[in-house]
Structures are given as C-alpha cells and as structure tokens.
Chain A
Amino acid sequence: MSIGHTLLGLLESGPRHGYDLKRAFDEKFGHDRPLHYGQVYSTMSRLLKNGLVEVDGIEAGGGPERKRYAITEAGITDVERWLATPEKPEPYLQSTLYTKVVLALLTRRDAGDILDTQRSEHLRSMRILTDRKRKGDLADQLICDHALFHLEADLRWLELTAARLDKLREAVTR
C-alpha cells in the first residue's frame, strides 16, 4: 500500500499534525500493522519536498511532531491520479505452497500431509478473522472479508490440488 498517498488522502479533509495522521491511519487502515512514527515523519518530509503538502503551522514546544501539515493543489491532483489508476492484479504465479507440493512429490514425500497442515493453518487464520468480524463494525467486517476471501481462494486451490495429487505426481516426475 502506498503510505504517502494514503496520508495525502487523509489530509484532504483538513490539515493535521503528524500524530493525528498516524492515529487516523492506524484506526482506518493499520489493523495489525500500525505505522511507526518514523515512517510518518519520513513520508511527510518527502511529500513536503515534492510540494504535495505544506506546513500549515508549527505549534510552540518544537519538535517535528508539532508541525501541522496541509495538502497542496498538487497533492490533491496526485491523490486523484492514484485513486483513478487501477491496482495491478497480483500474478500469483510464484507460490511457495505450490513449490513445496511439487518438491514433496519429486522427493517422494507425502504431499497430502503438506496440504492438510496448510489447510489447518489457513483455517486457524480464518477463525480469528471470523471472530473479529463477528465482533466488529461494518468497516471491520469488510476488511476481514477481504482477507477471508483471499484465504478461501488459497483453500479452494488446495482442495483442487489435493484431489489431483496423483496426476500431478505423474506430471512432475515424468
């Protein structure tokens, strides 16, 4: 995720201090990965240097955290361009799990075991997300659903592979 564009987007609703920006980011998008203060300040200095934000005021007490940032016209254009550009779909062609399965078949290990263990690990994550979703608000539910659908896609692949292990063994050991 582009932290720069996200912080810029958050600034569009009005000027904020670095600390406020971090808090808003963590609350809306951070989930399990809150931003470090260092990341916020290095990002803001870069945006400042590129003219995408400006310092709107500095409060007494000093220190970089007291700076209030405002988005510039160039910043708004930049956010707009970012939002309008589609994200490149992940190619998903380099899969560690696929590699493990093929290597297991090549070395005559039990590939079914690998798939079973992985299914169990995926389900463990899905249980945590399902529980969080159950307790959360709509925003929580949607981000958890995003993760759940991706994990589910992995699991569907896993079931399909489990059902075709014999054929895959033939294909890779030929």
Chain B
Amino acid sequence: MTHPAGSLLIAQDLRKTYGPTTALDGAEFSIHPGEVVAVMGPSGSGKSTLLHCLAGIVTPDSGSITYNGREVTSMSDSERSALRRSEFGFVFQFGQLVPELTCVENVALPLRLNGSSRKAAERTALGWMERLEVDDLRKKRPGEVSGGQGQRVAVARALVTDPRVLFADEPTGALDSLNGERVMELLTEAARSTNAAVVLVTHEARVAAYSDREIVVRDGRSRDMERVV
C-alpha cells in the first residue's frame, strides 16, 4: 500500500501477537498534520493495539512505523519515551488525572516533567483550560469535578505540550451524549487550531463523525475507507 505524501505518521504491515492471539495482522495506517482519523472496528478487532503501536507504547512483532521520517520501531526505549513526552498527547476513556493534584496542576504536569518552572507551566496550563472551558476548576481536585469536566481537563493536559499527534482512545466512552459531544467539539477544534493530527479510536459513530475520515480494523487488518470508495 502506498501512503500519501506529507503523512506525519505512517504504519506499514504491522503484526503483533499476544500468545496464541493475533492482534494485528498486516495493519496499515497514515495520517497528515491537522487531520482527524477515526479508527473503528468491533471490540477485539485490534484497534487499541494499533493505537498503542502507533504511539510507541507497544512494539509490533514486525512492520514499520515512521514518525516524521524516523523509524519508531528501531528507537531505544528512552528515545521512544522522549518522543511520547514531547511530540504525542494522550486521552483515554477515563481521564486518568492524578487525584492528589489540582486540575491546573494536572494540566501543567507534562510541562513540569519537561522541566518548565511551576509558574510558567501553570500559566500555559490555564490557557488550555480556558480553551476547554474548565478554567474555573483550576483549584479543584479531580474527585470534585464531573466526568465531562474531568475529561476536558484531561484533553487540556494532552494538548498542553503542543503535541503533533493526539492519541484518543474512546475519549467519550464514559460520558453521556451531550458531554461526549462537547468534549469532541472542543478536542477537534483545539487540535485543528494547532494543526495536530488526531488518532481517534472509537466504536461510536457519533464520535467518529467528528473525524475527517475513518479506517476500519477487522481481525487485525485495517481498511482505509477513503481510498476504497
């Protein structure tokens, strides 16, 4: 399969097995800067494994993943974690905020880990919280905010380092439909405004409708519907 020129992240012929189970069986993927691509498919089809491979969290048994011209599969662990910290952002189904920290401290955390001063990090964090409409929660702890608010805080945290790729795995899975849609609206607006690419794993069509195109994963193989139809 050939990938369109200018792709930021490209995966080719990815294979991954867990014991007797084949999770990926020749999956392909590509995404441009500023593009939102939904990864769909039934549960157990391999879509989360694909996301984890693309994000450098899981190493495929074979196949290639190129990010910005660099081969991710041949990087050392520390190179891969540096890549994840500086270039990628993550949002999961449950916000996974640190319960002991306030919301603004949670959002500022990735910047602090990258060496920013507390003041500078929290100033940037607050800017992102304003964009996600949760700046009034700055002093609250995750346990004191609703699921929808917590997820917006998690989106702010994922975007605070200006990642080139945002990985979102069922980001609205735990939310009701109104809150889920608001999170998707704010997430896609924020990502588009910074030209970040979004890899969005979802089984919900209404969430996938916020994407530019979708790929479907079935039995570990992917199908790019835009290039099929």
Task: Point out residues on A near B: beta carbons under 8 Å.
Answer: 112, 116-117, 119-123, 126-127, 129-130, 134, 148, 151-152, 155-156, 159, 162-163
Contact = CB atoms under 8 A, between A and B. Distances in A.
Contact of B42 (A116, A134, A162): A162
29 contacts: A116-B216, A116-B223, A116-B228, A117-B225, A117-B229, A119-B225, A120-B226, A120-B228, A120-B229, A122-B205, A123-B38, A123-B205, A123-B209, A123-B225, A126-B205, A126-B206, A126-B209, A127-B209, A129-B209, A130-B209, A130-B210, A134-B185, A151-B205, A152-B204, A152-B205, A155-B205, A159-B42, A162-B42, A163-B42
B215 to A, nearest CB: 10
A19 B172 CA distance: 45
Contacts of B209: 123, 126-127, 129-130, 148
Interface string B130-165: 000000000000000000000000000000000000
Interface residues of B, number: 21
Contacts, number: 51
A119 B38 CA distance: 13
Complex A-B, nearest 8 residue pairs according to Cβ-Cβ distance, in ascending order: A126-B209, A120-B225, A155-B205, A130-B209, A152-B205, A127-B209, A163-B42, A120-B229
B169 interface: no
Interface string B203-218: 1111011111010101
Contacts of B225: 116-117, 119-120, 123
B214 A123 contact: yes
A60 B144 CA distance: 68
A3 B5 CA distance: 51
A92 to B, nearest CB: 17
B229 A123 contact: no
A155 to B, nearest CB: 4
A113 B39 CA distance: 17
A127 B211 contact: yes
A152 B211 CA distance: 15
Given A126-B209, A162-B218, 4 more contacts: A119-B225, A120-B228, A120-B229, A162-B42
* Most chain A C-beta atoms within 10 Å of own C-beta, residue among B42, B205, B218: B205
Contacts of A134: 185
A130 B205 CA distance: 11
A144 B211 CA distance: 17
A140 to B, nearest CB: 14
